[in-house]
DNA sequence: ATGTGTTCCTGTCCGC
DNA sequence: TGCGGACAGGAACACA
């Protein structure tokens, strides 16, 4: 479920394992994911030291000492797995005996023997390399709107983007040019939280509701990141898999169940907008 | 310029 | 148990 909070959680999980490490081997088991990998990706990664990890929207950024940054997108089903062989702790590396799982497309071996594996059944994910000083010009990043948890995001920004447009607010919030990082789940959650109907045209939303929506977006994402952080330890302990964790939603996936808003007797309904499921309470979301 | 539908791919789940 | 269909967390792209 990689939306912004999940990518943030993956980034925080990878950070201690990767920062300062050198990629001593890169195994690339197919020529592409959603798009072809960049030319010579294997060679450009091999021997590169990881300076730091970051995130922009749903993109994971791995900055290398070579002057390039590896951009990773998890798509719908991508995940990162950290594989640590106990034998490496004593200095003897036996990582070559690790048997790849199905859909393990890219495997990085770090200097201490840790394996970082990108697994993606549906292959909607992507990887690319770009000079770090040109990162913001990358096609995938250039048009992204503000980070919802950053200083650039505000009710004024949403108001300007919403003004005079007839787009249903659900679609507008999925538009990464307006605000970056929201996906289907957290859009539903934020609209429920701020009691706005997903079908509402953006130009028709009162200022007060836009203020509420702005806060709801921040709170929803903050809560999810907090939940991801708290589940991270346990998840790592289990199997090293990052990117999926238990989190309960207030409205997403709750079709036919009672609305959880205090004093509301509504029933959550599912509708389809632009080919994607929207969950909402028709009673309290206006 | 804006808004909508299609498409990429595999896996899972549900009803018959 | 098998089989078909719906659906899944994204987003580029073609098109009205």
| pLDDT recorded at residue A279 | 94
Residue A276 is a catalytic residue: yes
Note the CA–C1' distance, A87 to B7, in angstroms. Answer: 45
Burial status of residue A40 (CB atoms within 10 A of its CB: 0-12, 13-18, 19 or more) = exposed
Nearest CA-CA partner of A182 in A2, A4, A25, A1: A4
CA of A140 to C1' of C6 (A): 31
Q: Identify the pLDDT of residue A247.
A: 67
Tokens 């207030």 — which residue? A250
- Which pLDDT belongs to residue A246? 55
Per-residue model confidence as pLDDT tens digits over A230-242: 665 544 544 455 5
Residue nearest to nucleotide C10 (CA to C1'): A75
Instruction: Give the pTM.
Output: 0.93
Measured CA to CA, the distance from residue A130 to residue A265 in angstroms comes to 52
- Show which positions of strand C are touched by protein (CB under 7 A): 7-12
pLDDT in tens, A240-275: 555 445 567 999 999 999 999 999 999 999 999 988
Distance in angstroms: CA A221, C1' C14: 33
**For residues A234 and A210, which has the higher predicted lDDT (pLDDT)?**
A210
Chain B footprint positions (protein CB, under 7 Å): 2-11
The per-residue pLDDT for range A40-78, each reduced to its tens digit, is 999 999 999 999 999 999 999 999 999 999 999 999 999
Average pLDDT score, chain A: 89
* Nucleotide whose C1' lies closest to the alpha carbon of residue A164: B2
pLDDT in tens, A69-119: 999 999 999 999 998 865 555 555 554 568 898 999 999 999 999 999 999
Q: Which residue is nearest to nucleotide B11 (CA to C1')?
A: A121
Whole-number distance in Å between A251 CA and B14 C1': 22
CA dihedral A113, A101, A226, A192 (to 10 degrees): 160
The 3-class secondary structure across A88-142, one letter per residue, is: HHHCCCCHHHCCCCCCEEEEEEECCCCEEEEECCCCCCEEEEEEHHHHHHCHHHH
Active site residue: A44, A58, A79, A254, which one?
A58
- In this predicted structure, the answer to whether residue A140 has a pLDDT above a threshold of 60 is yes
Whether the CB-CB separation of A164 and A143 falls below 8 Å is answered with no
Can A2 be counted among the known catalytic residues? yes
Structure confidence at residue A2 (pLDDT): 85
- The burial class, CB within 10 Å (0-12 / 13-18 / 19+), for A27 is middle
- pLDDT recorded at residue A243: 47
Which among A192, A163, A161 has a CA at the least distance from the CA of A259? A192
The arithmetic mean of pLDDT across residues A114-138, rounded, is 94
Please give the DSSP secondary-structure letter assigned to residue A145.
Answer: -
Give the separation between CA A224 and CA A231, rounded to whole angstroms: 11
Q: What is the CA radius of gyration of chain A?
A: 21
Closest nt by CA–C1' to A168? B3
pLDDT band at A228 (very low <50, low <70, confident <90, very high): confident
User: Strand B: which residues have Cβ below 7 Å from it?
Assistant: A 34, 77, 102-103, 121-124, 165-168, 171, 274-275
**Could you tell me what percent of chain A has a pLDDT over 90?**
78
Task: Identify whether A3 is a catalytic site residue.
Answer: yes
């Amino acid at each position: 479920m990689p939306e912004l909070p999940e990518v943030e959680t993956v980034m925080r999980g990878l950070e201690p394992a990767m920062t300062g490490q050198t990629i001593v081997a890169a195994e690339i088991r197919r020529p592409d994911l959603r798009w072809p990998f960049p030319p010579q990706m294997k060679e450009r990664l091999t021997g590169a030291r990881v300076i730091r990890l970051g995130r922009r929207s749903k993109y994971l950024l791995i900055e290398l000492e070579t002057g390039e940054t590896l951009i990773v997108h998890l798509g719908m089903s991508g995940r990162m797995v950290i594989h640590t062989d106990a034998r490496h702790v004593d200095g003897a590396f036996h990582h070559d005996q690790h048997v790849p799982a199905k859909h393990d497309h890219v495997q990085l071996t770090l200097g201490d023997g840790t394996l970082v594996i990108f697994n993606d059944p549906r292959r909607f994910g992507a990887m690319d390399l770009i000079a770090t000083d040109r990162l913001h010009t990358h096609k995938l990043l250039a048009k992204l709107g503000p980070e919802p948890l950053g200083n650039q995001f505000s009710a004024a920004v949403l108001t300007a983007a919403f003004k005079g447009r007839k787009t249903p607010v659900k679609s507008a919030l999925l538009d990464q040019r307006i605000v970056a990082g929201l996906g289907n789940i957290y859009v539903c959650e934020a609209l429920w939280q701020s009691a706005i109907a997903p079908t509402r045209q953006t130009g028709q939303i009162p200022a007060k509701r836009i203020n509420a929506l702005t806060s709801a977006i921040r709170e929803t994402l903050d809560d999810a990141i907090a939940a991801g952080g708290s589940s991270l330890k346990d998840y790592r302990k289990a199997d090293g898999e990052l990117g999926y964790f238990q989190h309960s939603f207030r409205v997403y996936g709750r079709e036919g169940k009672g609305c959880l808003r205090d004093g509301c007797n509504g029933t959550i309904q599912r509708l389809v907008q632009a080919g994607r499921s929207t969950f909402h309470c028709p009673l309290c979301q206006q």
